[in-house]
Chain A
């Protein structure tokens, strides 16, 4: 595996899989990962974040804290905190998370299950759900839900 090259989003505390790399099997780790290559199998980063770059091709179930998708995923995504689909994202699979952010232009086929962690009160009211949606019509993209 070639050494990662400096990039705007490259930090020394983030592992990096380049676009020429293919991984088959179980991928796990205890640090954030920027994945721009190809993975078949499964990805489990526990409480760390995963970013799938625009060249990323994932055929695996994914589990991480925050999952940001620019590329293609064929598999289920479990983001314990947040899942974000950028406009270039293509996801076929189910999403389970506490917060979902989808940019206009992203393609998604599957189910979305929002499961908030147990906190006191704060039952969602219908007017709030529609008020949040009303802010999108001008912007064409989501802002993260609280």
Chain B
């Protein structure tokens, strides 16, 4: 995949989150996920799968997945990408990500290790220079037949779409927790998503009523 210019980009800085709005009620909204239902169906009945969760540390997700008998790997790649150690300042003042350094210390696993990956909506928020390399790295560390669950905001989500942490609350249910106010960086259409996962064998789209497109991809 060449230039990322065909993505719709929201060029704006993150701002301080207002988490009070999400915590006032004390309850987290829930969201049905057909993609999650399909993902968990593939996990159930099998044991000792290696599952990679690319989101923030979620006690719920760890509990569910280990309760199913699987081994869970947790790597918050979005948070890691904000580490100043991976950010270089160019002469014109712009910032770039030190991709090689990032990959040397993150997602650094042996080939064909993982049976499943929870990618959530990370590609929507990740720095542009890391999106493609993230998926390439996933292709390398996943077993053939392994599955990736990913979410992509639609254009109707808008630049101010809140960032949520996803917690598995049931075999087809997520509870959503407002997270840091990461800014939606881009919107993928179906063609973009297919190109992004071009090294994978199969891709399945799930329609949702909200502004999030769900995708299950097979390595």
Knowing A109-B75, A136-B167, say if A142 contacts B59 (CB, 8 Å): yes
B76 surroundings in chain A (CB, below 8 A): 107, 109
Interface check A103, CB cutoff 8 A: yes
Tell whether, in the assembled complex, residue A124 and residue B28 are in contact, meaning their CB atoms are under 8 Å apart: no
Chain A nearest CB, measured from B26 CB (Å):
8
Instruction: Summarize B's interface: helix, strand, loop or mixed.
Output: mixed
In the complex, A3→B80 CA distance in Å? Answer: 40
> Which positions 85-132 of chain A face chain B at CB distance < 8 Å?
100-104, 106-114, 124, 126, 128-130, 132
B184 CB → nearest A CB, Å: 24
Contact with A along B38-77 (1 / 0, CB 8 A): 0010001000000000000101111110111101111110
Determine which of B44, B67, B175 lies in contact with A137 in the assembled complex, contact meaning CB atoms within 8 Å: B175
Contact B69 A124 (CB under 8 A): yes
Given A102-B57, A109-B76, A113-B71, check contact A130 B170 (CB 8 Å).
yes
B168 at the interface (CB under 8 A from A): yes
- CB proximity of B205 to chain A, nearest CB, Å: 25
- A interface residues, tally (CB under 8 Å): 28
In the complex, what's the smallest C-beta–C-beta distance from A111 to chain B, in angstroms? Answer: 5
User: Please, which residues of chain A bring their CB within 8 A of the CB of B168?
Assistant: 130, 133
In angstroms, Cα B84 to Cα A56, docked, is 24
What would 28 A/B residue contacts be, using CB atoms closer than 8 Å? A100-B63, A102-B59, A102-B62, A106-B57, A108-B74, A109-B74, A109-B75, A110-B74, A111-B71, A111-B73, A114-B66, A126-B171, A130-B64, A130-B168, A130-B169, A130-B170, A130-B171, A132-B63, A132-B67, A136-B60, A137-B27, A137-B28, A137-B167, A138-B26, A138-B27, A142-B59, A142-B60, A145-B67
* B interface list, Cβ under 8 A from A: 26-28, 30, 40, 44, 57, 59-64, 66-69, 71-76, 167-171, 175
